[in-house]
Chain A
């Protein structure tokens, strides 16, 4: 009797694990099948070289580049905000802050990531953009700059928290060796601790980028819905995610080519985040070996 109970529990645990894997594979295969159908109508060459994305217009173009540039531009702005701020915070917390302060401030910082992104989106649209317009007269109501900055604030904890863990994991011996030769705290932090924790810091940056690329709400609200191949941060753009929202909420016919653009865009996004996550996983694995 007891054995049967054990067996039932074991199998049910196994099946819940399998369900998760099955769902993931299901999503990927739906993405792949629909994307395959899309690419049987649109050449993959056009998809990557056409500079216009107008699937919802009469004159249809299916070039992913404008969406990709929108995504990369907002993500780039976000990481330019999050990297220096996040890294400064992590170095301060790990090397300078008293332990009690560190213990209080870290969960508070992580709250930044817990704010609903729709709140961030409206914050970007209603507060940041008007504020920036005082300094940048030509700034459009929708633009990648404020969306990027706010997204950067959102991903600060990704950088600061994971980097801080990495900095904190640097053996005390190394710091003492540096102090022992007459190095100051600052010299020790930048010449010994940061290089020793570099793989962890890189992982934090990659994860933050991955999060920024996949972010939807902020860019959909604040960056606009105009696919445009540009590096100008002051004009409206559209990211891959924002386009998917636009089409999903719109009234395109199920099974039409317009409908399938979602999957083509989606799989592009998936490939990006998948590669980034794999990369960070690899780096993290290597880094763990180094310290064990």
Chain B
């Protein structure tokens, strides 16, 4: 498979690769066009274009407050609840602008799942946690729910550890298990995109390694966008990396390029640890 690059800020290279660029926009899972975000008077995202390809892992890196989490949360409209949130531009998911008035936000979120920074299982049983997304859709078929729960737990590599006590409270699991449970919970709804907001920042190295393996497996079926503070993690698991700074997208390219031969000085400074 040939992978085309999307260098959004670099207008020259876009012109050169115009034909290829066009086709990559068409094939994009998420196409972001000139997106700006404000919280009250503060401009958090200053006009970003980006195309995210299906079945890839895209990592967002950058120092705290650079807007990477805000940007990620645009894809499932999680910022809608934030006071003073205002947004301009287009985000197309499978060709449909998700910020159109008619869009059903609940339906969108079934398509775009999310895993959060801190493991946040509901204070319910393991089974109920995974079944939650199905039950709120009004699904009552027990056999169907059981199958989906088992499948999701298997996909999240947690089934063997919990299959004998699915009735146990999810809060009794370890942090790493809780985070895999949260992934299973997201998978049970069968989204096509999974957003991960620093999913391993609260976990120990072994649990982190398990989640990273998992992300690698999930890529086959899902499009994954992950925000991470850990640059080694970005280089280990992602196909594409985007570097954000002060609300702007500084560089977006294949991960290998970003980490070995970045185009911008700022990117290089950041990944070599000279700032941030």
Give A contacts to B, CB under 8 Å. 99, 171, 173-174, 176-184, 187, 191-192, 195-196, 290
- Interchain CB contact under 8 A, A180 and B76: yes
Which residues of chain B are near A176, meaning CB under 8 Å? Answer: 78, 114, 116, 120
CB-CB under 8 A for A191 and B136, given A176-B78, A180-B76? yes
* CB atoms of B78 and A181 under 8 A apart: no
Chain B contacts of A177 at CB under 8 A?
A: 114, 116, 120-122, 182, 185
Contact of B83 among A99, A174, A180 (CB under 8 A): A99
Partner of A192, one of B107, B122, B186: B122
Given contacts A99-B83, A184-B106, A196-B123, contact A178 B132 (CB under 8 A): yes
Q: Which A residues are CB-close (under 8 A) to B118?
A: 173
Q: CB < 8 Å: which of A99, A180, A195 contacts B109? A: A180
| CB-based contact A179/B81 at 8 Å | yes
What is the bound-complex CA distance between A179 and B107, given in angstroms?
Answer: 11
Give the distance to chain B from A202, nearest Cβ to Cβ, in Å: 14
Given A196-B122, A196-B123: A181 touches B116 (CB 8 Å cut-off): no
Q: Is the pair B124, A174 in contact by a Cβ cutoff of 8 Å? A: no
Question: Which chain B residues numbered 99 to 123 have a C-beta less than 8 Å away from chain A?
Answer: 106-110, 113-114, 116, 118, 120-123
* A181 x B124 contact (CB < 8 A): no
Q: Are B109 and A182 in contact (CB under 8 A)?
A: yes
**CB pair B120 A173 closer than 8 Å:** yes
Q: Identify the closest chain B residue to A187 (Cβ).
A: B136
Cα–Cα, bound, A176→B124 (Å): 16
CA distance A180 to B183 in the complex (A): 12
In the complex, what residue of chain B is closest to A181 when comparing beta carbons? B133
- The contact string, 1 if C-beta is below 8 Å from chain A, for chain B 122-136, is 111000000011011
A153 to B81, CA, bound (A): 33
Identify which of A178, A182, A187, A191 contacts B107 (C-beta below 8 A). A182
Closest residue on chain A to residue B121 by CB atoms:
A177
Instruction: Please give me the residue from chain A that is nearest to B83 by CB atom.
Output: A99
CB distance from B12 to the nearest CB of A (A): 39
B residues 130-153 near A (Cβ < 8 Å) are: 132-133, 135-137
**A196–B124 Cα gap in the complex (Å)?**
9
Further pairs besides A177-B120, A181-B133, A181-B189: 7, Cβ < 8 Å: A174-B120, A176-B120, A181-B110, A181-B113, A182-B107, A183-B136, A195-B122
Residues of A within 8 Å of B132, CB to CB, are 178, 181, 183, 191
Give me 5 A-to-B residue pairs in the complex whose CB atoms sit less than 8 angstroms apart, sorted by A's number.
A176-B120, A177-B120, A177-B182, A182-B108, A184-B106
Instruction: List chain B positions with a Cβ less than 8 A from chain A.
Output: 76, 78, 81, 83, 106-110, 113-114, 116, 118, 120-124, 132-133, 135-137, 182, 185-186, 189
Q: Are B120 and A181 in contact (CB under 8 A)?
A: no
Choose from B81, B83, B109, B121 the contact partner of A181 (Cβ within 8 Å). Answer: B109
Q: Which residues of A contact B186 (CB under 8 A)?
A: 180-181
A173: nearest chain-B partner, CB-CB: B120
- Asked whether, in the complex, the Cβ of A171 is within 8 Å of the Cβ of B81, the reply is no
> What distance in Å separates the Cβ of B260 from its nearest Cβ neighbour in chain A?
35
Q: Which residue of A has the minimal Cβ distance to B104? A: A182
Q: Is the CB of A180 within 8 A of B136?
A: no
Q: A187-B136, A191-B136 are in contact. Are A179 and B83 (CB under 8 A)?
A: no
Cα distance A110–B117 in the bound complex, in angstroms: 37
- Cβ distance A11 to chain B, nearest Cβ, rounded Å: 46
- Which chain B residues lie closer than 8 Å to A196 at the CB level? 122-123
| Interchain CA distance A124-B83 in the complex, whole Å | 43
Least CB distance, B78 to chain A, in whole angstroms: 7
Beyond A99-B83, A191-B136, whether A182 also contacts B116 by CB under 8 A is: no
Pick the 6 closest A-B CB pairs, nearest first: A173-B120, A181-B133, A180-B114, A182-B110, A182-B109, A182-B106
> Which A residue sits closest to B108, measured CB to CB?
A182
Chain B residue numbers with a CB within 8 Å of A183 are 106, 132-133, 136
Residues in chain A near residue B133, CB distance under 8 A:
181-183
Residue of A nearest to B118 (CB): A173
Shortest Cβ gap from A195 to chain B (Å): 7
Bound form: Cα–Cα A179–B133 in Å: 10
| Chain B: minimal CB distance from A143 (Å) | 43
Closest chain B residue, CB of each to CB of A171: B120
Q: Which residues of A contact B110 (CB under 8 A)?
A: 181-182
**Distance (whole angstroms) from the CB of A100 to the closest CB of chain B:** 10
A182 to B132, CA, bound (A): 10
> How close is A157's CB to chain B, nearest CB, in angstroms?
26
What residues on A are CB-neighbors of B123 within 8 Å?
A: 174, 195-196, 290
Nearest B residue to A192, CB-CB: B122
Pair A181/B122 contact, Cβ less than 8 Å: no
Check B189 against A182 for contact (C-beta < 8 Å). Answer: yes
| A179 and B109 form a contact (CB under 8 A) | yes
A180 contacts which chain B residues (CB < 8 A)? Answer: 76, 78, 109, 113-114, 116, 186
